[in-house]
Chains A and B, each alone.
Chain A
Amino acid sequence: MEFEAIIGLEIHVQLKTCSKMFCGCANVTGRAPNTVVCPVCLGYPGALPVMNAEAVRLTVQAGLLLNCRINLFSKWDRKNYFYPDQAKNYQISQYDQPLCLGGSVGISVDGTEREVRLTRIHLEEDVAKNIHFESSSGVDFNRAGTPLMEIVTEPDLHSADEAYAFLQALKQILAYGEISDCNLEEGNVRCDINCSVRPVGQRELGVKTEIKNMNSFKGVHRALSYEIERQKRVLSGGGTIVQETRRWDDVAGMTQSMRSKEYAHDYRYFPEPDLVPVELTEAQVESWGATLPELPAARRRRFVEAYGLPDYDAGVLVAEKRIADFYEEVAQACGNYKAASNWVMGETMRALSEANMEVDASPLRAEALAGLIQLVDQKTLNMPAAKEVFQVLFTEGGEPKAIVEARGLAQVSDSGELEGFVEQVLEAHPQSVEAYRGGKANAIQHLMGQVMRLSRGKANPQVVLDLLRSRLDG
């Protein structure tokens, strides 16, 4: 029997604000436990929350970027549950009047483009982090209260590949929109999966399972690949799927049933009495829409027009905002736009991918790469030497000129110095000389290589070529 998978995602995205959602604690990660907390985010009785204006603006801007309808009236609700990731026994969220409704994200899988519909986007507070010890668990409230946007999709996805493409596309838009840093290692983006399968042609949906708290897109892909096959296997074998929450075990590479929680989904939402509603005006939404940052498609066009890049280069460079930002810095600092594109798309992206590193985490600075490109343009460096300098800039940082001097890499363009090498090579390789004069133009490459070797890679290839030609042709 042929089956099809029906997948919906709930994506939690931490917003890029200075302070938390309902209090003035800093919105930062990586601090020692319980050092960025106050009575509000610790959930002390009587402490009153006050909305962060910037979080509202960012969520509305995200809604505009994702083609949502902006709800001019929205309000806050309490989601009640007992779990040691918050101390109030409720999470402040939005239940029936979220900030954004509908929306869509375009994806492209195997050359087919289509729209994935969104249900809604609401704003809520993130919860505390639990750290598990042998016989107890610890609670760190630093994360509690971080502005958290929840994006809910319609059940529009049908494969692990589509879910992956969707998450990549969403991340690209939100990073470009400067809504979130979208740093997965920092836990900025987390995802819950709803997945069911049904025989092709059947109208009603199959029983779904939920996989919670995925913190990597690769993990989502692997978990879905596994879960879809598992459900197909169960159904093909005449079994039934149990509606339950499953956990993805990344090491074992499988989903496992979690202890089923009775009444797990009765959150008894009710309006939050401590917070008044958000009322927006059309004019306000419009003005926020007018200040939206440039999106990838527009930036790609601009790269072609302003820097004269081939469309292919522009597409590669804009795929990730941080790379595109880095390229622009390099291009503007060195003035050679195409060379900057070659260095960023080539050496830089290769080195980043090998080191599995983000561009802003590497010691390589844009102005250093620009300086390197200028040294090549000024013929101070030839390509092999420039690549050597790049390796140093990438692994240790520093100034290209200083590295060139310290390593004696400066290109030798002085024909007086190079003539000696040329003389030696011509004497040592009479066969190549003869072959060249006999009409084998390629033989000159061999002679050039020998001169480069004698100069320990520092000779200016153009000068060498000119010298060889004048001696051989003359």
Chain B
Amino acid sequence: MASGFSEHADQIDVGYVAHLARLQLSEEERAAMQAQLEQILAYVDQLKEVDVSDVTPTAHAVPVANVLRPDEARPGLDTADVMRNAPRQRDDQFLVPKIVE
């Protein structure tokens, strides 16, 4: 379970979740989100009332497995097309703010 959520929906840490999503929320927004997210979680919580003890958990909504392709290479996009919408670029690379490690 992601650590932004505790066992009980009413303890969701909106500030933490917002930080993980790189969202900057004002105090008002945070309060609004707090209430809304708790409502959503409470709604989803209703699912817990269903007895699923006889149901096998699935990883996917559809019962399909092994959608594989053969290992064959084919041409991709033209570099000029790839770079066309880049806000900033240099030497055919996308430029981003300097990464500080």
Q: Chain A: residues with CB nearer than 8 A to chain B?
A: 17-19, 23-27, 32-39, 41-42, 50-56, 75, 80, 82-84, 97, 130-141, 247, 258-259, 262-263, 266, 268, 271, 273, 275-279
Contact = CB atoms under 8 A, between A and B. Distances in A.
A287 to B, nearest CB: 15
A19 B73 contact: yes
A63 B82 CA distance: 37
Given A17-B71, A266-B20, A34 B96 contact: no
B63 to A, nearest CB: 9
B69 interface: yes
A96 to B, nearest CB: 10
B94 A139 contact: yes
B73 A53 contact: no
A52 B74 CA distance: 13
A53 B70 CA distance: 6
B99 A137 contact: yes
B41 to A, nearest CB: 15
B48 interface: no
A275 B68 CA distance: 10
Interface of B: 2-4, 16, 19-20, 22, 59-62, 64-74, 76-77, 79, 82-83, 88, 90-101
A18 B69 contact: no
Nearest to B19: A263
A75 B83 CA distance: 33
Nearest to B95: A136
A278 B74 contact: no
A50 B69 contact: yes
B2 A132 contact: no
A132 B82 contact: no
Given A35-B76, A75-B60, A133-B90, 15 more contacts: A18-B73, A23-B76, A24-B74, A25-B74, A35-B92, A37-B76, A38-B76, A53-B71, A136-B96, A138-B93, A138-B96, A141-B82, A259-B101, A276-B59, A277-B60
Contacts of A138: 90-91, 93-96
B99 A56 contact: no
Q: Quick one: which of B19, B62, B65, B76 has the most chain A CB within 10 A?
A: B76
Contacts of A32: 79, 92
A139 B92 contact: no
Interface residues of chain A: helix, strand, loop or mixed (majority): loop
Given A24-B73, A55-B71, A277 B65 contact: yes
B19 to A, nearest CB: 7
A51 B68 contact: yes
Given A34-B79, A136-B97, A82 B69 contact: no
A230 to B, nearest CB: 19
B18 to A, nearest CB: 11
Contacts of A37: 76-77, 82
B21 to A, nearest CB: 9
14 contacts: A24-B74, A35-B76, A37-B82, A38-B76, A50-B69, A51-B66, A82-B22, A137-B99, A138-B95, A141-B94, A266-B2, A273-B60, A277-B59, A277-B65
Contact of A276 (B2, B3, B65, B94): B65
B73 A50 contact: no
A53 B82 contact: no
B66 A140 contact: no
A132 B69 contact: no
A422 B23 CA distance: 94
B4 A24 contact: no
Given A32-B79, A51-B67, A97-B59, A25 B73 contact: yes
A259 B72 contact: no
A54 B71 contact: yes
B68 A136 contact: no
Given A25-B73, A271-B59, A263 B20 contact: yes
A27 B68 CA distance: 17
Contacts of B100: 259
Given A52-B71, A268-B2, A136 B88 contact: yes
Contacts of A53: 68-71
- Most B-side CB within 10 Å, residue of A54, A83, A258: A54
A374 to B, nearest CB: 40
Contact of A33 (B16, B66, B74, B93): B93
